[in-house]
Amino acid sequence: MSAIFKREFRSYFHTFIGELFIGLNILIFGFFFVQYNLLGLSTNVNGALYNTAFIGLVFMIPLLCMRSFSEERRQKTDQLIMTAPVTVGGIVMGKFLAIAAVFSIPTAVILILPPLMGRFGEVPYLWNYADILDYWLYGLMLIAICIFISSLTDNQIISVVVSVVLILACNLLGDLFDSIPVAWLSDLLNATINFSGRLMTIYLGNFDLTSIVYFISVTALFLFLTTQVIQKRRFTVSRANLSVTAYSTAMIAVCIAVVVVLNLVALQIPDDYREVDLTANRIYTIGDDSKRIASEITDDITLYFLAQESDDAMQTKDTTVEKILKSYVNAGSHIRLEYIDPIVNAKFYQRYTDTDPGYSGVIVVDDTNGRSKAVAYADMYQSEIDYQTYQEKTTGYDMEGQITSALQYVTLSEDSLVQAYRTSGHGELPISPAFTKILDNDNIHMEDLELLTAESIPEDAELLIIESPNTDFTPSEADLVIDYISKGGNLLVSATTETQGGAELTNFKKILDWYGVSLSDGLVLDYTPGNYYATFNTPSYLLPDLSSDDPVTSSLRSVGLKTVFLPECLAIEVKATDGITVTPLLTTSEGSYLSTDPDQKNAQSFNVGVKAERTLDSGMSTMILYSCGYLFTDEVDNLIAGMNSRLFDNSIDALVTLSTDFVTIPAKPMDSFLTIPMTVANFITVIGFIFIAAVIVIIAGIAVWAVRRKK
């Protein structure tokens, strides 16, 4: 077998097929790597690998394998191998391993990319290398299939065409199988003829061991089939050979049956034993806090999943949501899952809510006290608009946060809920949906409060939010707020840099002055690398340092978050005042200066986020102030992979107190992002395109040289 391997491996480079395959493989992968990782800033090579496997290998593998048997059969050189003192299995394995070795060369190049990306961000290495393993096993399976097709014909063109058609069919028919109404037939076809479905499981970060079983078993099956084809050609027809033929046919049937049964059985293994969540943020599993909450619930809880238990051609449930719900059922003995077909029971949701949660939405019901909460399907995902394609794309998952919050909500008493108010009437920015969702997850009920018509801040207010006013408060409105905080009320404030008509916010500043802080007149500018958003090349788009002295920001640092994004900030100035403690939360670098100081004579570090605490005769009043008007908006939050929303969540937790051990689960970003300075990104992109161009030149040169040599 080793002699066959060496002969075949060398032959691929003597005829330039090996160089051509390696060059094309790197070329196609490099194109997708530039798109997804260098330009898209993804920390995972899954997008580049999936597209290379789904688009590139479909055509490249058949071209690589077309001569394995068909060319030798056409030239009659296969007789030399057939008469060699080596088993048929050795012949097949030698050729297979030679082609696998050629395929492994560009795959090995991909292995070095995750550590290189790790220099520019938090890279999920386990997920990356599982993707590469999946890609490699998928390629080996295609090699085994194409070798089998090549053994059936002496025409290389027919071998390539049949191989491509077969692989394309197995890649594209998966969606059709899911829509088959007969469950056993759908399961059978998915277990045997669904290549892309196996690739997709690891592409999404949910490592399914059945994919490994499938790739290995199908590879072994086609190598066995190839051996049987060669076996029949090696022996002449005789009475004795008839028994060999019968034996081979029986063995083929048995092996096919074993592979089918093996994959069907593998699919029946419970998800907890066959699936591994490889995502950096574990978006497919619930954490220890959620498991503890579920296990401690003593009320009878029903999770109504608005979907059919078995999909049909009309609707397909979200299996990720289903897996999360089953995790809660496994964690809590008093929690059960019930499927409600929203097509048959279209009005079911109206028993608990006025708004339709949508297909795959969830309604959490406490059957003991009758409380309920609906979780809309759309709220379980974070998304943004891709302005290159103008399509909405998923950026994160909030399934665990939504369900855990709902479980706590339905089991809480009414007096355990928190009431918050948001001032209105001063051109305040609205609370963006992602941040409203955080309040809902914290079981905080927020209402708008028109201070101009209010006699006082309501007594049940545990928090007052002032979100970037751009017109001033009246003196009486400012007095209402000061009266509220002087009695121990808490504030969350963000300050805008824009005011209508350039008016001074004199009365608004009186509220800040009560806490011993004020705002500068000019914007903070910071050109220090790593402390501003280099993509926009704007020094006022700050990436400040997180303080390690307060839980609001230190908890972000403890989970690996480096910064948040504050476009256009004012400097927060602190006055020395007795009874007031001001803790910096967000600070700029020492090389920062104000836009009102064009000569940069007073470069220093500025506070752009603080927590101010004032001691009262009884208790304390706390204000968290951020000097950026757009800090808590979805558009800004999406640019920093949800870090701003985490800061908002921590700020809320620091200002309100629940009467129970309430746990908030933040949304989990689908993927982290590389932080590549613009100059480095441009350099890497240029190098990438130069590398791709070099590969094209090499391939073209080899092709021209080969044509001339034949002439």
Same domain, 287 and 209: no
Residue 389 pLDDT level (bands cut at 50, 70, 90): very low
Pair 465, 564 in one domain = yes
For 444, phi then psi, to 5°, come to -105, 125
Same-domain check for residues 73 and 195: yes
385 and 439 co-located in one domain: no
Q: What is the mean pLDDT of residues 534-550?
A: 83
Which amino acid makes up residue 408?
Answer: Q
The band of 582, judged by pLDDT with boundaries at 50, 70 and 90, is: very high
Q: How confident is the model at residue 269 (pLDDT cuts 50, 70, 90)?
A: confident
Residue pLDDT, tens place only, 279-325: 777 888 888 889 999 999 999 999 999 998 876 545 678 888 998 99
As a whole number, mean pLDDT of residues 500-522 equals 84
Question: What whole-number percentage of the chain has pLDDT above 90?
Answer: 30
For residue 248, name the pLDDT band (cuts at 50, 70, 90).
confident
* Whether 447 and 505 share a structural domain: yes
- Collect all residues with Cβ–Cβ distance below 8 Å to 21 and sequence separation of at least 6: 12, 60, 63, 64, 102, 103, 106
Residues 69-78, mean pLDDT to the nearest whole number:
69
335 or 15, greater pLDDT: 335
Is there a contact between 159 and 709 (Cβ–Cβ < 8 Å)? Answer: no
385 and 422 together in one domain: no
Distance CA(129)–CA(112), nearest Å, equals 10
My answer on whether 206 and 234 are in the same domain is yes
Other Cβ atoms within 10 Å of 26 Cβ, number = 19
pLDDT of residue 31: 84
The model's pLDDT over 75-105, given as tens digits with 9 standing for 90+, comes to 666 665 666 667 778 888 989 999 999 999 9
In Å, how far are 397, 526, 587, 588, 589 from 605, measured between CA atoms?
Answer: 36, 9, 6, 5, 5
Same domain assignment for residues 489 and 593: yes
pLDDT at position 572: 93
- Predicted confidence at residue 206, as pLDDT, reads 78
Tokens of 422: 């948001």
Nearest to 543 by CA among 583, 573, 588: 588
Residues 134 and 99 in one domain: yes
Name the more confident of 516 and 675.
Answer: 516
| C-alpha atoms less than 13 angstroms from C-alpha of 484 in its C-beta half-sphere | 28
Whole-angstrom distance, CA of residue 570 vs CA of residue 539: 13
Task: Select from 393, 411, 429 the last residue of a domain.
Answer: 411
Output the six-digit token pair for 357.
Answer: 């949660």
Domain end (from 411, 432, 467): 411
Q: How many domains does the chain have?
A: 3
pLDDT of residue 387: 43
| pLDDT computed for residue 498 by the predictor | 64
Is the pLDDT at 596 greater than 70? The verdict is yes
Residue 392: which residues within 8 A CB-CB, separation 6 or more? 383, 384, 385, 386
Whether residue 336 sits in one domain with residue 390:
yes
Lowest-pLDDT choice from 223-227, 464-468, 582-586, 707-711: 707-711
Amino acid (one-letter) located at 207: F
Long-range contacts of 345-352 (CB under 8 A, 24+ apart): 348/304, 348/306, 349/306, 349/374
Q: Which residue has the higher pLDDT, 388 or 176?
A: 176
- Could you give phi then psi for residue 179, rounded to 5 degrees? -90, 0
Residues 568 and 648 in one domain: yes
Give DSSP secondary structure letters for 577-633. Answer: -TTEEEEEEEE--TTBEETT-TT-TT-B--EEEEEEEEE-SSSEEEEEEESBTTTT-
* 705/643 same-domain check: no
Task: Tell me the CATH number at 427.
Answer: 3.40.50
Q: Quick: pLDDT tens for 35-52.
A: 888 777 788 888 899 999
Indicate if the pLDDT at residue 609 is higher than 80. Answer: yes
Look at residue 637 in the predicted model and tell me its pLDDT. 82
What pLDDT digit, counting tens, does each position of 127-139 carry?
A: 899 999 999 999 9
The kind and range of the H/E element at 45 are none
Q: Which of 391, 411, 431 is the last residue of a domain?
A: 411
Query: Residue 256's pLDDT is what?
Result: 86
pLDDT of 247 > 90? The answer is no
CA 268/CA 265 separation, integer angstroms: 5
Question: Cα 685 vs. chain centroid, distance in angstroms?
Answer: 23
- Whether 73 shows a pLDDT value over 80: the answer reads no
**pLDDT at 695 (0 to 100):** 65
Please give the pLDDT value at position 599. 76
The domain in which residue 84 lies consists of 2-279+678-710
Is a pLDDT exceeding 70 seen at residue 390? Answer: no
**CB environment 393-412: b (16+ within 10 A), e (fewer):** eebbbbbbbbbbbbbbbbbb
pLDDT category of residue 170 using cuts at 50, 70 and 90: confident
pLDDT value for 178:
64
Contact 550, 585 (CB under 8 A): yes
- 344 vs 169, 347, 372, CA distance in Å? 34, 9, 22
pLDDT over 60 at 660, yes or no: no
pLDDT of 404 above 70: yes
For residue 239, is pLDDT > 50?
Answer: no
Rounded to 10 deg, the angle between the 17-33 and 57-65 helix axes is 170
Q: What is the 8-class DSSP label of residue 40?
A: S
pLDDT at 267 over 90: no
Mean pLDDT, range 259-283, rounded to an integer:
80
Percent share of the chain, pLDDT over 70: 83
State the pLDDT at residue 463: 94
Q: CB burial class (10 A; 0-12, 13-18, 19+) of residue 280?
A: buried
Tokens 């080996």, residue located: 140
Mean pLDDT score, 457-479: 92
* Per-residue confidence band for 189, with pLDDT thresholds at 50, 70 and 90: confident
Question: Does 241 have pLDDT greater than 60?
Answer: no
pLDDT bin (cut points 50, 70, 90) of residue 692 is low
